[in-house]
Amino acid sequence: MNVDIFTLFPEWFEWFLEQRHVSNVLGAGSSIECVNYRDHTPLSGRQVDDTPFGGGAGMVLRVDVLDSALRGHYGVDPVDLRMERRVIALAPGGRLLDDQLVDELAAEPALTLLCGRYEGFDERILEHFASDVVSIGRYVLSGGELAAMVLCDAVSRKLPGALGDDRSAAEESFSAALEGRPEYPHYTRPADYRGWRVPEVLLSGHHERIAEWRRERSRERGTDQEQSAQR
């Protein structure tokens, strides 16, 4: 997969790209490239944002700057770009990122991520250039960069070569293998610590009983999580 990240802070991603599971995926044929909006702005002084029409606090990323940045990088009109590849604007009001969306994005050959800053994007960017608007939760971050990293992290775990063992991604929390529910609890040595004993069934070597126990625990956790989401 090829991922391009448009941002005002490309240096934020340097640390992220060095992390093991990300660099494994990059080594296995994927690529992540960062593009600085400021390198493409048609405005003087590397300006990229402006005050909102109608007044109010903060600054808004300009539609002409995004047009130049996308056109400069891809050599096509950004209105047509979103027909070729998913162009995802990261904004708090977007579609909530969940395992289903992560799977959907992991199946794409290429993604473009647009990070907003300040008060966010001129609405025309979302309307005309983005194919999707994605949010990582119902709270406000100061920019889309951390959300882009969250999305890349979650997507890259689904790509071949990311994890030591490809089964880990298939059976993990919220996956279809667990019918969308959270993962069962894990234990390792010591089997008894301060009197806190590991459930006996896990030490039994009885694979069917272990699988059954894990399904039950996963179901219980799913119910607990639904109940706390309703509160």
Q: Are 229 and 221 within 8 A, CB to CB?
A: no
Number of residues that bind ligand 6GU (CB under 6 A): 13
What tokens does 209 get? 């009983």
Q: Which residues pair with 46 in a beta bridge?
A: none
One-letter amino acid of 172: E
Which distant-in-sequence residues (6+ apart) come within 8 Å of 54 by Cβ?
Answer: none
By C-beta, is 145 or 178 nearer to ligand 6GU? 145
- Please count the CA atoms within 13 angstroms of the CA of 91 that sit on its side-chain side: 22
**Least distance (Å) between residue 137 CB and ligand 6GU:** 5
DSSP 143: B
By C-beta, is 9 or 23 nearer to ligand 6GU? 9
Considering only CA atoms, which of 110, 180, 112 is closest in space to residue 144? 112
By C-beta, is 72 or 143 nearer to ligand 6GU? 143
Regarding 130 and contact with ligand 6GU (CB under 6 A), the answer is no
By C-beta, is 137 or 164 nearer to ligand 6GU? 137
Window 137-156: contact mask with ligand 6GU (x via CB under 6 A): x-xxx-xx--x---------
Give the residue, chosen from 136, 159, 178, 202, that forms a contact with ligand 6GU under the rule CB under 6 A: 136
What tokens does 109 get? 């050959």
By C-beta, is 122 or 181 nearer to ligand 6GU? 122
Q: How far apart are the first and last CA of the chain?
A: 39
Give the residue, chosen from 112, 135, 156, 218, that forms a contact with ligand 6GU under the rule CB under 6 A: 135
Chain residues in the site for ligand 6GU (CB under 6 A): 90-92, 116, 135-137, 139-141, 143-144, 147
